[in-house]
Amino acid sequence: MTKFSDLNLDPKVLKAIAEAGYETPTPIQAGAIPPALEGRDVLGIAQTGTGKTASFTLPTITMLRKGRARARMPRSLVLCPTRELAAQVAENFDIYAKHTKLTKALLIGGVSFKEQDALIDRGVDVLIATPGRLLDHFERGKLLLTGVQIMVVDEADRMLDMGFIPDIEKIFQLTPFTRQTLFFSATMAPEIERITNTFLSAPARIEVARQSTTSDTITQGLAYFKPSRRDRATQFKEKRNMLRALIEREGEGCSNAIIFCNRKMDVDVVAKSLEKHGYNAAPIHGDLDQSQRMRTLDGFRDGSIRFLVASDVAARGLDIPNVSHVFNFDVPSHSEDYVHRIGRTGRAGRKGTAFTIAVPADDKLLAGVEGLIQKDIPRVELPEVEAPAPEKRSRRRKSDAPQDAPAKDAAETQVAAETAPANDDKPAKRPRRERGGRGRGRDRDNGPQPIGLGDHVPGFIALSFDDRMAS
């Protein structure tokens, strides 16, 4: 069995690995680290949760152990699709490079430009960034990429799938042609692979599992039910009821969970609904402030938050240990996201459970997911769900009143009208104006209709043509 000591890593890196409690590399690490240390381009494909981050962090630190960074010219660049994933890569760098003198900078949105500029000006060995913020610094003249020796694209398919193709191409053009490029992803569609052929030169392709497979450590289940009505409000409410019923049925086995929704607005509603019913839940999505997102993630990691309700911003690459369950409140719109979502549980050999809630309207999306993973998601027995509240009846109109009303009521009404005191001082009611659209009410008396320009005609207009010519 391969050990980290067999991979020709720097002794200081090996010491940090041992202190972190790791002894044996994962298959993707064992396959990708040797060619990376040889200076070759690498295309790494492995299912999520297999240690891809260390696959490029460890060789990068080893190869950068000699040399010194210059101001505004990083020696290596790591591109990540989301702020959370970039922050996680930075944490891994801190763990594995703590016995070295290498420096890093994290360029993500939601953080002051001034603080990031100060780090870049001092010179950094490793620059970890999202594409948008990286280009912002470059266009402001605060950053040069001509010194990049190693370039890493993490979650490559997501970077390209999220519309970052123009940014990625521009960044590659700003880096030296002689750079070393490392691509890592859980899925690699044929069209994405075609684009990588432009960026990578004779890469070592490391594929440790069939593309788009799910881990055997994850128990999957599909809660498929037919809503009582077709409208979205009813389905949304019944899905929330189903979610709570699944959580209750799992009992203490559900120590914590990530709940994924397709839409950011649904993330907020589901989180508030869980809180209303006594569950410790918090939302996380792209519209929230970066500091709030990081606080929420930290709370979920330390156990102060039990349920993390998330959009797909949290589906890719986040290493949150000991997640017992994943609930897909919505079937993902992109089939590949299913692999990444449920990959948040069952990590590093641990057991995990993933449930997906679906209704007949999701049949097309569900077929796409099952076609991607090449197997059917097992249907589970539906738990007992609280019955939806009865619909509120609309107010009865006067015309709907029963025709056989007691004669007593009519008589009392007539007596009340006859005995009511006269009030002749009341002004007469204004006649009701006829309502309607254009063209109605033409027979109303609006006074004499004006003809021409009236009595206030300017003198020069009143003159005849001959008089005006003469004057």
Query: What are the structural domain ranges in the chain?
Result: 4-207, 218-373
Which is higher by pLDDT, 235 or 315?
235
Q: How far apart are CA 95 and CA 136, in angstroms?
A: 28
pTM (whole model) above 0.85: no
Residue 386: predicted pLDDT = 67
**Cα 201 → chain centroid:** 33
Condensed to tens digits (0 to 9), the pLDDT of residues 208-258 reads 866 567 888 899 999 999 999 888 888 999 999 999 999 999 999 999 999
Is residue 155 within 8 Å of residue 316, measured between CB atoms? yes
Q: How far apart are CA 83 and CA 87, in angstroms?
A: 6
Residue 58 reports pLDDT greater than 70: yes
Residue 51: predicted pLDDT = 84
Residue 263 reports pLDDT greater than 60: yes
Residue 197: predicted pLDDT = 85
Per-chain mean pLDDT for the chain: 83
Q: At what angle do helices 83-96 and 52-63 cross, to 10 degrees?
A: 50
Q: How confident is the model at residue 466 (pLDDT cuts 50, 70, 90)?
A: low
> Looking up tokens 């009404």, which residue turns up?
413
Residue 461: predicted pLDDT = 64
What is the average pLDDT across 394-407? 46
Residue 46: predicted pLDDT = 79
Residue 74 reports pLDDT greater than 80: yes
Residue 434 reports pLDDT greater than 80: no
What is the average pLDDT across 408-436? 47
For domain 4-207, give the CATH number. 3.40.50.300
Residue 135 structure tokens: 């280009």
> Looking up tokens 């660049």, which residue turns up?
77
In 275-320, DSSP assigns E strands to: 281-284, 307-310
Residue 412 reports pLDDT greater than 50: no
Which is higher by pLDDT, 241 or 312?
241
Q: How far apart are CA 459 and CA 255, in angstroms?
A: 93
Q: How confident is the model at residue 449 (pLDDT cuts 50, 70, 90)?
A: low
Residue 339: predicted pLDDT = 86
Condensed to tens digits (0 to 9), the pLDDT of residues 344-382 reads 898 877 899 999 999 999 999 999 999 989 899 999 999
Residue 419 reports pLDDT greater than 70: no
Q: In what order do the strands lie in the sheet with 180-185?
A: 104-107, 126-129, 76-79, 150-154, 180-185, 42-45, 204-207
Q: Do domains 4-207 and 218-373 have the same CATH topology?
A: yes
What is the average pLDDT across 275-281? 96
What is the enclosing helix (H) or strand (E) of 132? helix 131-139
Residue 147: predicted pLDDT = 94
**Cα 283 → chain centroid:** 11
Is residue 361 within 8 Å of residue 204, measured between CB atoms? no
3-class SS of residue 266: helix
Residue 416: predicted pLDDT = 44
Most confident of 110-114, 116-120, 402-406: 116-120
How many Cβ atoms are within 10 Å of 90's Cβ, its own excluded?
Answer: 17
Q: Which residues contact 321 (CB under 8 A, 6 or more apart)?
A: 301, 347, 348
**38-52, 65-79, 290-304, 311-325: range with lowest mean pLDDT:** 311-325
Using CA of residue 6, residue 11, residue 13, residue 17, what is the dihedral sign? positive
For domain 218-373, give the CATH number. 3.40.50.300
- Alpha-helical runs (H) found in 251-289: 264-276
